[in-house]
Chains A and B, each alone.
Chain A
Amino acid sequence: VKFSYNWLKDYVAGLETPPESLERLITMKTAECEGTPEITLPAQVLEVEPVPGSRYVKARIQTRVYGERTVVCGAPNCRKGMTTLYGPIGKKVIQGVESDGMLLSGFEAGINDDTAGIYEWQPGDPEFIDAIFDIDNKSLTHRPDLWGHFGMAREISAITGKRLVDPVKPSLIPPGESPVRIEIEDQDLCPRYSALVFDNVTIGPSPAWLQYRLTAVGLNPINNIVDLTNFLMAELAQPMHAFDRAKLRGATIFARPAKSGERILALNDIAYDLTPSNLVIADARGPIAIAGVIGGAESAISETTTSIVLESANFQASSVRKTSSALKLRTDASMRFEKAQDPANTTRALARAVELLQELSPGIRLIGGLADAARPLRPIPPVTLDLDWLACKLGRSLEAAEVRAILEALEFGVEPTAPRVFSVRIPSWRATKDIAMAEDLVEEVGRMIGYDSIPPKPPLIAATVPPEDPRRIFLRRIKSAVALQGFTEVSNYSFVSEEQVQKFGLRPEDHVRVLNPIAADQSLMRCSLLPGIFSDIEENSKHFASFRLFEIGNEIHKRGAELPDQITHLAAAVFNREGDGAAGLFELKRLAEILAPGAGVRAVQAKPYEHPARTAEIFWLGEGIGRLFELHPDLAKRAAILDLDLDRVLALRPAQANYQPVRRFPTSAFDLSVVTGLREPAGRVLTTLRAFGGALLLSIEFVRQYTGPPLDEGTQALTFRITVGAADRTLSADEVAEVRTRLTNGLFEKGYGLRG
Chain B
Amino acid sequence: MDNPLLELERSALTRIAAAANIEDLEAVRVETLGRKGALNQVSAGFGKMAPEQRAATGKLLNGVKQNLERAIEQRRAEFESAALRARLDAEWLDLTLPAPGTRAGSLHPVTQLQREIEDLFTSLGFAVLDGPEVETEYNNFDALNIPPDHPARDMQDTFWLEGGYLLRTHTSAVQVRGMGRLKPPMRMIAPGRVFRNESVDASHEHTFYQLEGMMIDREVSVAHLTYFMKTLLTAIFHRDVTVRLRPGFFPFVEPGFELDISCLICGGSGCPVCKQSGWVELLPCGLVNPHVLRMGGIDPTEWNGFAFGLGLTRLAMMRYGIGDIRWLQGGDLRFLNQFGGAAL
List the B residue with the shortest CB-CB distance to A536: B331
One digit per residue, 1 when the CB lies within 8 angstroms of any chain A CB and 0 when it does not, for chain B 157-197 equals: 00111110101000000000000001001010000010101
| B227 at the binding interface (Cβ < 8 Å) | yes
Complex CA distance for A455 and B221, rounded to whole angstroms:
11
| A458 at the binding interface (Cβ < 8 Å) | yes
| B105 at the binding interface (Cβ < 8 Å) | yes
Complex CA distance for A551 and B155, rounded to whole angstroms:
31
Cβ–Cβ contact A489 & B111, under 8 A = yes
| A457 at the binding interface (Cβ < 8 Å) | yes
Q: Contact size class for B? A: 35 or more
Known A469-B130, A525-B161: A439·B287 in contact at CB below 8 Å = yes
State the total of A-B contacts with C-beta under 8 angstroms: 256
Chain-B contact segment, one of A96-104, A280-288, A476-484: A476-484
Cβ–Cβ contact A451 & B162, under 8 A = no
Chain A residues positioned under 8 Å from B334 (CB to CB)? 543
| A606 at the binding interface (Cβ < 8 Å) | no
Chain A residues positioned under 8 Å from B331 (CB to CB)? 490-492, 532-533, 535-536, 539-540, 549, 551
Known A442-B287, A459-B224, A512-B134: A138·B336 in contact at CB below 8 Å = no
| A659 at the binding interface (Cβ < 8 Å) | no
A369 to chain B, nearest CB (A): 35
| B40 at the binding interface (Cβ < 8 Å) | no
Q: Which of A28, A339, A494, A516 meets B151, CB within 8 Å? A: A339
| B206 at the binding interface (Cβ < 8 Å) | yes
Q: Which of A395, A480, A494 meets B107, CB within 8 Å? A: A480
| A29 at the binding interface (Cβ < 8 Å) | yes
| B32 at the binding interface (Cβ < 8 Å) | no
A235 to chain B, nearest CB (A): 22
| A485 at the binding interface (Cβ < 8 Å) | yes
Q: Which of B128, B197, B248, B255 meets A139, CB within 8 Å? A: B248
Q: Which of B104, B199, B221, B330 meets A393, CB within 8 Å? A: B221
Chain B residues positioned under 8 Å from A488 (CB to CB)? 105-106, 333, 336-337, 340
| A513 at the binding interface (Cβ < 8 Å) | yes
Chain B residues positioned under 8 Å from A516 (CB to CB)? 159-160, 197
List the A residue with the shortest CB-CB distance to B192: A554
Cβ–Cβ contact B159 & A514, under 8 A = yes
One digit per residue, 1 when the CB lies within 8 angstroms of any chain A CB and 0 when it does not, for chain B 186-221 equals: 010000010101111000001100000001010111
Chain A residues positioned under 8 Å from B127 (CB to CB)? 466-467, 469
List the A residue with the shortest CB-CB distance to B288: A439
A485 to chain B, nearest CB (A): 7
Cβ–Cβ contact A494 & B129, under 8 A = no
Known A338-B151, A461-B125: A32·B246 in contact at CB below 8 Å = yes
Known A395-B221, A465-B125, A563-B134: A443·B254 in contact at CB below 8 Å = yes
One digit per residue, 1 when the CB lies within 8 angstroms of any chain A CB and 0 when it does not, for chain B 332-344 equals: 1110110010011
Chain A residues positioned under 8 Å from B220 (CB to CB)? 459
| A651 at the binding interface (Cβ < 8 Å) | no
Chain B residues positioned under 8 Å from A140 (CB to CB)? 249
Chain A residues positioned under 8 Å from B222 (CB to CB)? 393-396, 446, 451, 454
Complex CA distance for A547 and B333, rounded to whole angstroms:
9
Complex CA distance for A457 and B249, rounded to whole angstroms:
24
Complex CA distance for A516 and B197, rounded to whole angstroms:
8
Known A456-B226, A563-B134: A322·B149 in contact at CB below 8 Å = yes
Cβ–Cβ contact B257 & A394, under 8 A = no
| B115 at the binding interface (Cβ < 8 Å) | yes
| B311 at the binding interface (Cβ < 8 Å) | no
Complex CA distance for A540 and B334, rounded to whole angstroms:
8
Cβ–Cβ contact B107 & A518, under 8 A = no
| B223 at the binding interface (Cβ < 8 Å) | yes
| A31 at the binding interface (Cβ < 8 Å) | yes
| A418 at the binding interface (Cβ < 8 Å) | no
Complex CA distance for A359 and B115, rounded to whole angstroms:
67
List the B residue with the shortest CB-CB distance to A493: B207
One digit per residue, 1 when the CB lies within 8 angstroms of any chain A CB and 0 when it does not, for chain B 252-282 equals: 0011111000000000000000000000010
Give the most central of B105, B289, B304, B332: most A CB within 10 Å.
Answer: B105
Chain A positions 427-479 with a Cβ under 8 Å from a chain B Cβ: 437, 439-440, 442-443, 446-447, 451-452, 454-467, 469, 471-472, 476, 479
Chain B positions 110-145 with a Cβ under 8 Å from a chain A Cβ: 110-111, 115, 122, 125-130, 132-136
| A487 at the binding interface (Cβ < 8 Å) | yes
Cβ–Cβ contact A494 & B223, under 8 A = no
| A566 at the binding interface (Cβ < 8 Å) | yes
Cβ–Cβ contact B289 & A461, under 8 A = no
List the B residue with the shortest CB-CB distance to A481: B343
| A60 at the binding interface (Cβ < 8 Å) | no
Chain B residues positioned under 8 Å from A484 (CB to CB)? 104-105, 343-344
A35 to chain B, nearest CB (A): 11
Cβ–Cβ contact A392 & B219, under 8 A = yes
List the A residue with the shortest CB-CB distance to B226: A456
Known A32-B248, A490-B331, A515-B162: A548·B155 in contact at CB below 8 Å = no
Complex CA distance for A488 and B215, rounded to whole angstroms:
35
B173 to chain A, nearest CB (A): 12
Chain A residues positioned under 8 Å from B149 (CB to CB)? 317-318, 321-322
Chain A residues positioned under 8 Å from B248 (CB to CB)? 32, 139
| B238 at the binding interface (Cβ < 8 Å) | no
Cβ–Cβ contact B329 & A492, under 8 A = yes
Known A439-B254, A466-B127, A544-B333: A556·B133 in contact at CB below 8 Å = yes
A30 to chain B, nearest CB (A): 6
Known A392-B221, A442-B254: A469·B128 in contact at CB below 8 Å = yes
| A561 at the binding interface (Cβ < 8 Å) | yes
Complex CA distance for A454 and B255, rounded to whole angstroms:
14
Known A459-B219, A492-B331, A539-B331: A142·B249 in contact at CB below 8 Å = yes
Complex CA distance for A516 and B193, rounded to whole angstroms:
19
Cβ–Cβ contact A548 & B105, under 8 A = yes
Chain A residues positioned under 8 Å from B329 (CB to CB)? 491-493
| B236 at the binding interface (Cβ < 8 Å) | no
Chain B residues positioned under 8 Å from A27 (CB to CB)? 246
| B230 at the binding interface (Cβ < 8 Å) | yes
| A306 at the binding interface (Cβ < 8 Å) | no
List the B residue with the shortest CB-CB distance to A322: B149
List the A residue with the shortest CB-CB distance to B207: A493
List the A residue with the shortest CB-CB distance to B229: A456
Known A32-B258, A489-B105: A139·B333 in contact at CB below 8 Å = no
Cβ–Cβ contact B247 & A29, under 8 A = yes
| A381 at the binding interface (Cβ < 8 Å) | no
Cβ–Cβ contact B105 & A482, under 8 A = yes
| A564 at the binding interface (Cβ < 8 Å) | yes
B146 to chain A, nearest CB (A): 10
List the B residue with the shortest CB-CB distance to A480: B344
Complex CA distance for A536 and B167, rounded to whole angstroms:
24
Complex CA distance for A566 and B199, rounded to whole angstroms:
25
One digit per residue, 1 when the CB lies within 8 angstroms of any chain A CB and 0 when it does not, for chain B 25-50 equals: 00000000000000000000000000
| B245 at the binding interface (Cβ < 8 Å) | yes
| B103 at the binding interface (Cβ < 8 Å) | yes
Complex CA distance for A1 and B195, rounded to whole angstroms:
27
Cβ–Cβ contact A456 & B128, under 8 A = no
Chain A residues positioned under 8 Å from B130 (CB to CB)? 469, 471-472
- 19 pairs of residues in contact across A and B, judged by CB atoms under 8 Å: A27-B246, A31-B249, A138-B154, A140-B249, A317-B149, A394-B222, A451-B246, A460-B219, A467-B182, A484-B344, A489-B105, A489-B111, A490-B336, A491-B329, A512-B161, A512-B165, A518-B198, A551-B331, A563-B134
Other than the given A443-B256, A457-B226, A518-B199, 14 more pairs (CB < 8 A) read A31-B247, A141-B249, A393-B222, A452-B245, A458-B224, A461-B187, A466-B187, A491-B108, A492-B330, A516-B159, A518-B197, A548-B105, A551-B331, A564-B163
- Please give the residue numbers on chain A whose beta carbons come within 8 Å of chain B beta carbons, in ascending order: 27-32, 138-143, 317-318, 321-322, 338-339, 392-396, 437, 439-440, 442-443, 446-447, 451-452, 454-467, 469, 471-472, 476, 479-480, 482-495, 512-518, 525, 532-533, 535-536, 539-540, 543-544, 547-551, 554, 556, 561, 563-564, 566, 587
4 shortest A-B CB distances, which residue pairs? Answer: A395-B223, A536-B331, A395-B221, A443-B255
